[in-house]
Amino acid sequence: MSFELIAIGALDIGTVRGIGTALVLLSFTSVTLWAYSGKRHADFDQAALLPFADEPKLATPRSTTP
């Protein structure tokens, strides 16, 4: 099977690859804009602290009085 035989209707393989590239670029741009939008800042700040959520609390310091 050669690449010359692959066609979708009137589209050749170069057009299909171009449309695929455009869709991937649009998806990447959309996700990037969503991730860096100001509305998501508080959610990402909270998510950034999740690795520390399971750490045990520090022991309370001893008093200095005998």
Per-residue pLDDT of the chain (66 residues; tens, 9 = 90+): 455 555 556 778 999 999 999 999 999 999 999 888 888 888 888 988 888 887 666 666 676 766
Q: What pLDDT score does 36 carry?
A: 87
Q: What pLDDT score does 55 carry?
A: 67
Q: Which residue has the tokens 């690795």?
A: 51
Domain span holding position 15: 3-39
3-state secondary structure of 8: strand
Tally of domains within the chain? 1
Q: 44 φ, ψ to 5°? A: -70, -30
63/3 Cα distance (integer angstroms): 79
Residue 65 lies in a domain: no
Residue 20 lies in a domain: yes
Q: Are 20 and 11 in contact (CB under 8 A)?
A: no
6/28 Cα distance (integer angstroms): 27
Residue 45 lies in a domain: no
Residue 46 lies in a domain: no
Q: What pLDDT score does 26 carry?
A: 98
pTM listed for this prediction = 0.54
